[in-house]
């Protein structure tokens, strides 16, 4: 059994595992060819007004002097990355957002939301420290990023698969406190 893709450490939700090498290869090909749809839910700082926000910004990995691995927007040397943000519910100074990845780069949603100047709640690496402190008082102890669903054609049967993961209880509690 092998992981088909990865999630960031504090991200909850759908994680696909293949039980055969041939299936794993098929899934990897689907990912490379953007034939697998990944949908996430996140809570961002600030108000997002548009119905759809498309971010096309290259991402480049680097290592800081202290040895921390990071990713930054770099349209010259970075790998192409596309993310769609769909605001769903606004709160006083934050917005619940559905996110759809076209590419699947390391920390893509986190860096693209930071690039929009709307970092993810609880993101210690790319987020806003003051915003994180505020949301922590509501009980958030992790990154507010949840891999809600996948959609793909099963490589052996051709059946359309759409696994969905329920949102983690901690994230649900945060949302109920915001309402």
The CATH number of residue 42's host domain is 3.30.2350.10
Domain count for the chain: 1
Which residues constitute the domain of residue 111? 2-178
User: Catalytic site residue 98?
Assistant: no
pTM comes to: 0.93
Type and span of the H or E element at 98:
strand 94-101
Among 8, 10, 74, 168, the one annotated catalytic: 8
> 152: how many CB neighbours lie within 10 A of its CB?
20
Q: What's the confidence (pLDDT) of residue 138?
A: 95
Low-confidence ranges of the chain (pLDDT < 70): none
No. of helices (H) and no. of strands (E), the chain: 4, 11
- The pLDDT value recorded for residue 8 is 86
- Exposure class string for 87-125: b at 16+ Cβ within 10 A, else e: beeeeeebbbbbbbbbeebebbbbbbbbbbebbbbbbeb
């Amino acid at each position: 059994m092998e992981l088909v893709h990865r999630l960031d450490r504090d991200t909850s939700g759908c994680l696909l595992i293949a039980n055969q090498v041939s299936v794993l290869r098929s899934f990897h090909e689907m990912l490379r060819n953007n034939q697998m749809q990944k949908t996430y839910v996140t809570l961002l700082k600030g108000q997002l007004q548009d119905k759809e926000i498309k971010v096309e910004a290259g991402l480049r990995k680097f290592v800081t002097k202290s040895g921390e691995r990071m990713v930054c927007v770099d349209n010259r040397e970075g790998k192409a990355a596309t993310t769609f943000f769909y605001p769903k519910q606004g709160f006083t100074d934050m917005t619940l957002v559905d996110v759809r990845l076209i590419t699947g780069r390391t920390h893509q949603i986190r860096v693209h939301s930071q690039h929009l100047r709307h970092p993810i709640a609880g993101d210690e690496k790319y987020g806003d420290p003051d915003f994180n402190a505020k949301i922590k008082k509501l009980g958030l102890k992790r990154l507010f990023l949840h891999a809600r669903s996948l959609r793909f054609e099963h490589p052996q049967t051709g059946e359309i698969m759409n696994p969905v993961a329920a949102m983690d209880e901690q994230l649900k509690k945060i949302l109920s406190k915001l309402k």
